Amino acid sequence: MKTGYLSRIVDDELNLKLRSTGAVLIEGAKWCGKTRTAENRAASALYLQDIDKKDYYSGILGTKPSMLLEGETPRLIDEWQTAPILWDGVRFAVDQRGGAGQFILTGSAVPADDATMHTGTGRITRMLMRPMSLFESSESNGSVSLASLFNGDDPKGVSSLTLEGLAFALVRGGWPASVTDNGKSALSHARNYVDSVVNNDISRVDGVEKNPAKVFNLLQSLARNISSTAKLKTIMDYMNSGDDAGISDKTLTSYMNALKRIFVIEDLPAWGPSMRSRTALRTSAKRHFTDPSIAAAVLRASPEGLFNDFNTFGLLFESLVVRDLRIYAQANDGMVFHFRDKNDLEADAVIELYDGRWGAVEVKMGYTETDKAIENLIKLRDKVNVDKMGEPSFLAVITNTEYAHPTKDGVHIIPIGCLRN
């Protein structure tokens, strides 16, 4: 491991993929740490955004792009989407050389739709990377692992994460540069990220110029509807409520797609289990950003200000928990969903592993609403057809309280400051 490198949960996944496939593509939001993680495993590197070498690289790309793939392996190709022709070059090189672990590609944007590429199936495998979880930033002590919950263990641990510490971590975000920063300057990274998205990144991803004011209004609308199943019409109505000219359906869809392609938004899909009776399930996704600090930044929320708006604090806390659960679930070969039926019975998160095991989670900041959350989780368990889905491995309420413990109902109370993968 290179000096100064902050270990990431995806390190193990990257190592596994490098042992089993010719190339690995690490995708994720800008500034989430992809390049640093790749550098920690790479033996050589090509930085396509190196300003001093852009003309040089451009010349080679126009004549013999395979030259840029030469170097010790694994060879890092950073921000590969700026030169999509290299995708097929990597495929060909993997075929010709044989063997695993030839290349690591990083990308903070899905390339243009008209980029000429063939599938990398069997040669290039993808790995999604997100900003740092609270465990990776050392604000969770990791005394309760998601893996242990799926193994049927009772949670035990004591969290030292205060409400003030949670508010700061939420507004700061999981950006590695902010995690290693100190004091108020750590809060500027998420704001700078939003500024970059609004004024540059969202237009650059597809080459279509976008109105920065409308982009910011869209981000604000999404932030105001975070952790909800708000329809696109709701998002658009907020944007069109001001004095400026409104936005059309077509433009909104274009902007939303661009935000997805640069990994700014990551909605939480609905879970569709087999139920005991004919119960209509809601299929709308929940609105989330890749990191809740994006919402905090566009809402101009400060750690202190969250204490004056506990409703927003709670919604952002739910989004932070979803971010961390996604990171922890991915490390356990799982995915995260949400559940809601026609009677509004819901679970804020359902983690389902590749082998079919599942667990359901409600998110509550404190103790005051845990009884209702426990009741909801038990109702959900009783409605799911366990003959087809299997019994849940666990039911849990994730909080920002102090002690991790099982309840008499068999539902676990787990502080976010204790959780890890």
pLDDT, tens digit (0-9, with 9 covering 90-100), for 276-303: 888 888 899 999 999 999 999 999 999 9
Question: Which two three-digit tokens encode residue 243?
Answer: 């004095």
Instruction: Tell me the per-residue pLDDT of 348-382, one tens digit each, with 9 for 90 and over.
Output: 999 999 999 999 999 999 888 999 999 999 999 99
What per-residue confidence (pLDDT) applies to 239? 87
Element (H, E) at 35: helix 34-41
20 and 123 Cβ atoms separated by less than 8 Å: no
Ramachandran quadrant class, 383 (left: phi over 0; alpha: psi -120 to 50; beta: rest): alpha
Burial of residue 318 (number of CB atoms within 10 Å: 0-12, 13-18, 19+)? buried
Residue 117 pLDDT > 60, yes or no?
no
Give 360-403 as a DSSP string: EEEE-SSSTTHHHHHHHHHHHHHHB-HHHH---SEEEEEESSSE
Q: Which residue has the higher pLDDT, 249 or 32?
A: 32
What confidence score (pLDDT) does residue 119 get? 58
What is the distance between the alpha carbons of residues 284 and 234, in angstroms, rounded to a whole number? Answer: 13
Model confidence pLDDT, tens digit, residues 252-261:
999 999 999 9
Alpha-carbon distances, residue 152 vs 198, 233, 331, 356, 370 (angstroms): 45, 42, 18, 15, 21
According to the model, what pLDDT value does residue 63 have?
A: 86
403-406 and 394-399 as β-strands: parallel, antiparallel, unpaired?
unpaired
Report the pLDDT value the prediction gives residue 183, as an integer from 0 to 100. Answer: 79
DSSP string, 215-283: HHHHHHHHHHTTTS---HHHHHHHHTTSSS----HHHHHHHHHHHHHTTSB--BPBP---BSS---B--
Q: What is the pLDDT of residue 280?
A: 83
Query: What residues does 24 pair with on adjacent strands?
Result: 104, 125
Collapsing DSSP to helix, strand or coil, 122 comes out as coil
Q: How confident is the model at residue 116 (pLDDT cuts 50, 70, 90)?
A: very low
Q: Give the integer Cα–Cα distance in Å for 178 and 169.
A: 10
- Hey, what amino acid is at 228? S
Q: Does residue 387 register a pLDDT over 80?
A: yes
Residues 6+ apart with CB under 8 A from 47: 53, 78, 79
Q: What is the pLDDT of residue 114?
A: 45
Considering the chain, what is the average pLDDT of its residues?
92
Residue 88, amino acid = D
pLDDT of 2 higher than 90? no
Structure confidence by residue, pLDDT tens digits, 61-76: 888 888 999 999 999 9
Beta-carbon count within 10 A of 385 CB: 12
Q: What is the pLDDT of residue 52?
A: 72
Asked if the model's pLDDT at residue 1 lies above 70, the reply is: no
Tell me the pLDDT tens digit for each residue of 7-41: 999 999 999 999 999 999 999 999 999 999 999 99
Are 303 and 164 in contact by the 8 Å Cβ rule? The answer is yes
The pLDDT value recorded for residue 62 is 82
Return the SS3 of 303.
Answer: coil
Local confidence band at 121 (pLDDT 50, 70, 90 cut-offs)? low
Q: For helices 163-172 and 310-331, what crossing angle results, to 10°?
A: 70
pLDDT at 118 > cutoff 60: no
- Is the separation of the CB atoms in 164 and 365 below 8 Å? no
The rounded distance, in Å, linking the Cα atoms of 343 and 337 is 18
CA-CA distance, 373 to 262, in Å (whole number)? 34
- Residue 80 pLDDT > 60: yes
Q: What average pLDDT does range 180-187 have in this prediction?
A: 87
Position 122 pLDDT exceeds 70: no
pLDDT for residue 53? 78
- What does the pLDDT look like over 394-405, one tens digit per residue? 999 999 999 999
